[in-house]
Structure 1
Amino acid sequence: MKLIIPQEIFDGESRVGITPDCISSLTKMGFSVFIQSNAGLQSSFTDEEYKKNGAKISSNIKDLYKNADLVVKIQRPSKQKKINEISYLKNCNVLTLLYEQKFKTEFNLLKKSKVNVFALEKMPRISRAQSMDVLSSQSNLSGYKAVIDAASEFNKAFPLMMTSAGTVAPAKVLIIGAGVAGLQAIATAKRLGAVVSSFDVRSSTKEQVESLGAKFIEVGDDANDSGETSSGYAKEMSSAYKKKQAKLLEETIKKMDIVITTALIPGKPAPRLINKKMVKTMKVGSIIIDLASEFGGNCELTKHGQTTNFNSVKIIGPKNLAASVAQDSSRLFSKNVINFLKNSCESGKFNGFNWDDEVVKETCIIRNLK
């Protein structure tokens, strides 16, 4: 079977779908692996590394896609830079991050194509799928990088410092959302010496937050409402809860130097948690980094891919933070894909997807091939 790795065509996307260290795993499964020339270069992987590990290099994109059985790419197939990836897809399976509710144009075009599309962001939250969970692996690095970027933008130090010239107070950091990205942001901020607080509607996250040394801030509205779905994701809360939440955040945010927001609700726009009034109360020189900016943002003033200054507060809507640590994020994505494919292997060989498997059924959102 022919597996191909195209070069990503979106601006700012420096990751690659499969890294050289995973090629041997694919060949053992029975794949012939082809990669577009220089597809891994922005992640610091050379064509020579891919060759050494058994991949074939293709400089012609049409030849690359010809007779492909499986396409692995980070971003959804699209039309960018005069390249129409969807037009190349014929009788093949595609593994990617699709987000069909946000990118409906590409989704509708793919539905009309002779393809099966596996949206890896749909991975079910079950224990055996953890090693395949692309969202978790990428969010983990995004949470780390958000804190590093915040520290770089902030005009004060993070840790407490006792010096002969006086004491430097530690930065006060609030992390909103204690999912994978939020927990990594907490851990990173603590390692840098900040005083960290965190808020999440899910009461179950309190223990995790406190285990990392952060203070858990809670509304405490309804002891019987866990704030999460049966899948473990945050859910939409009641109007009464939201009012108390807004009051709590308003009182908390004005004491903070840095706020990092990571709150998302699957299949819906990001919840709006920080309004203009709250930002007005923040200290001069404070930083907000909104990791939910691609999905509308947790802050009213966030602009995706831009930095906004409002009332001497810097609001950053980062675009694809995981891609800014492309080598590591590519390695993790690649290993997630390998584990996903191994899940359908029999006696170590891949002969097609196991359509009775929960992981396969949940992720395949377009099935136009048998």
Structure 2
Amino acid sequence: MRVAVLRERRAAETRVAATPETVKKIIAMGCTVSVEAGAGLSSGIPDAQYAEAGAEVAADAAAALAGAGLVLKVRAPLGAGEGEVDELALIPRGAVLIGTLQADKAMADAYAAAGIDACAMELAPRITRAQSMDVLSSQANLAGYRAVVEAAGAFDKAFPMLMTAAGTISAANVFVMGAGVAGLQAIATARRLGGRVSATDVRPAAKEEIKSLGASFVGYEDEESKAAQTAGGYAKQLSANFYAEQAKVVAAHIAKQDIVICTALVQGRKAPILVTEAMVASMKPGSVIVDIAADAGGNVAVTQPGQETLTANGVKVLGFTNWPGRIPAAASALYARNLLTFLTTFWDKEAKKPAMPADDDIVKGVTLTRGGAVVHPSLASA
């Protein structure tokens, strides 16, 4: 089987779907690998390293995809009119496409019409078997780390308490909103840098996780909050009354913070607004807000996705998108291993090709299209 790895062409995407490490392992599975020239440059991987790993370096997307039975991507392939190359039209009929596809009904229909078996890895179920192929977790972990590093760079003071002959600088007060994978990593990183860290999350299990990392818990708790978590570990949408009470507690706390890291996402929905304009206005000049949820609209009312903004009262709001892409070498390494694990889990060693049983929970979770039809429950009936 020929495996194609393309250069990512979507805006601000710096990652790559395979590394020399994973290319070697894919070749050992009995495949040939074609990597489009320049695919790894943004992640610090020159073409020569892919060649040394045994891959063919193809001149362009058409050459990389010629005869491919398996296509590895970070983001969804470009369609007609979306960019310089119609990648979708170049993917051979019958090929398996694996990536974080963020597909809607129209996109899924396009894959089905093209005869592509599309697997959206961001839909992998949160079960033990799928942990090592969980692209959301691996990328969110790095996003949480990078958010704190970016905050430290934008903050005009210091994270730790510094005692000098000229006087003492107090430790930064850091507040992390959302204690999922990204939030927990943000807490740990801010603590390592010497910040005085607090955090909040509506999920009941998060309180102990926050405390276990040495941060203090801030939040409103009632009977409703005890059931604020889905079976998959995501936060549930709660009532307007709960959010109003939570906002009162958070508003009083935010006014005292130097840095706020926002990471709250609700699966399949626009990110909830957790920090209002009034809360931003209450913060001290020089404070920094980092909005990791900017890709989903943002947790902060004043976030402008893709931009850093300075408010009238001197608060910096970092609304960058694609946070894992801001640490591309590490993000690519983990993402590529996630895809490799998925492949090896569903690999027929005799036939040397993927064997994905339709009744497997992981396969059902990620498969958008199969055999020219849309099969994912969330899209097939849309």
Instruction: Please give the TM-score of this superposition, normalised by the length of structure 2.
Output: 0.93
Instruction: Verify the 8 A CA contact 1:342 1:348 in the aligned structure 2.
Output: no
Residue in 2 that maps onto 1:92: 95
Residue in 2 that maps onto 1:290: 291
Change (3 A) 1:224 1:139: closer
Residue in 2 that maps onto 1:362: 365
Change (3 A) 1:174 1:38: same
The amino acid that maps onto 1:134 is: V
Instruction: Verify the 8 A CA contact 1:289 1:316 in the aligned structure 2.
Output: yes
Residue in 1 that maps onto 2:379: none
Matching of residues 242-281 of structure 1 within 5 Å: 242-281=243-282
Report how many residues are paired.
368
Instruction: Verify the 8 A CA contact 1:286 1:314 in the aligned structure 2.
Output: yes
1:319 and 2:316 correspond: no
Identical residues among aligned pairs (%): 39
1:217 and 2:218 correspond: yes
Q: What is the rounded CA distance, in whole Å, between the counterparts of 2:245 and 2:278 in structure 1?
A: 15
Residue in 1 that maps onto 2:341: 339
Matching of residues 115-264 of structure 1 within 5 Å: 115-222=116-223, 225-264=226-265
- Greater CA drift, 209-218 or 183-192: 209-218
User: Could you list the runs of 5+ residues in structure 2 that have no partner in the other structure?
Assistant: 374-382
Instruction: Verify the 8 A CA contact 1:186 1:214 in the aligned structure 2.
Output: yes
1:15 and 2:15 correspond: yes
> How far off is 1:351 after superposition?
2.8
The amino acid that maps onto 1:87 is: A
The amino acid that maps onto 1:21 is: E
> How far off is 1:265 after superposition?
0.6
* Cα deviation code 1:45-89 (max 9, x no counterpart): 121111111111110321221221111010111144421111112
> How far off is 1:348 after superposition?
8.0
> How big is the alpha-carbon RMSD for the aligned residues of Structure 1 and Structure 2?
1.6
Change (3 A) 1:175 1:350: farther
The amino acid that maps onto 2:236 is: K
The amino acid that maps onto 1:315 is: V
Change (3 A) 1:186 1:349: farther
Q: What is the rounded CA distance, in whole Å, between the counterparts of 1:296 and 1:243 in structure 2?
A: 20
Change (3 A) 1:283 1:108: farther
Q: What is the rounded CA distance, in whole Å, between the counterparts of 2:206 and 2:8 in structure 1?
A: 35
> How far off is 1:108 after superposition?
4.2
Q: What is the rounded CA distance, in whole Å, between the counterparts of 1:368 and 1:280 in structure 2?
A: 54
User: Could you list the runs of 5+ residues in structure 1 that have no partner in the other structure?
Assistant: none
- Greater CA drift, 113-122 or 55-64: 55-64
Residue in 1 that maps onto 2:29: 29
Instruction: Verify the 8 A CA contact 1:302 1:316 in the aligned structure 2.
Output: yes
Q: What is the rounded CA distance, in whole Å, between the counterparts of 2:360 and 2:28 in structure 1?
A: 22
Q: What is the rounded CA distance, in whole Å, between the counterparts of 2:62 and 2:232 in structure 1?
A: 41
Instruction: Verify the 8 A CA contact 1:353 1:360 in the aligned structure 2.
Output: no
Q: What is the rounded CA distance, in whole Å, between the counterparts of 1:313 and 1:35 in structure 2?
A: 43
> How far off is 1:227 after superposition?
1.1
1:42 and 2:42 correspond: yes
Instruction: Please give the TM-score of this superposition, normalised by the length of structure 1.
Output: 0.95
Residue in 1 that maps onto 2:380: none
* Cα deviation code 1:160-195 (max 9, x no counterpart): 111111111000011001011101100000000000
* Cα deviation code 1:134-184 (max 9, x no counterpart): 111111111101000000000011101111111110000110010111011
SS of the counterpart of 2:347? coil
Instruction: Verify the 8 A CA contact 1:344 1:350 in the aligned structure 2.
Output: no
> How far off is 1:31 after superposition?
1.4
Instruction: Verify the 8 A CA contact 2:203 2:225 in the aligned structure 1.
Output: no
Change (3 A) 1:41 1:29: same
SS of the counterpart of 1:117? strand
> How far off is 1:346 after superposition?
4.1
* Cα deviation code 1:96-135 (max 9, x no counterpart): 111224xx65444324321011111001101111110111
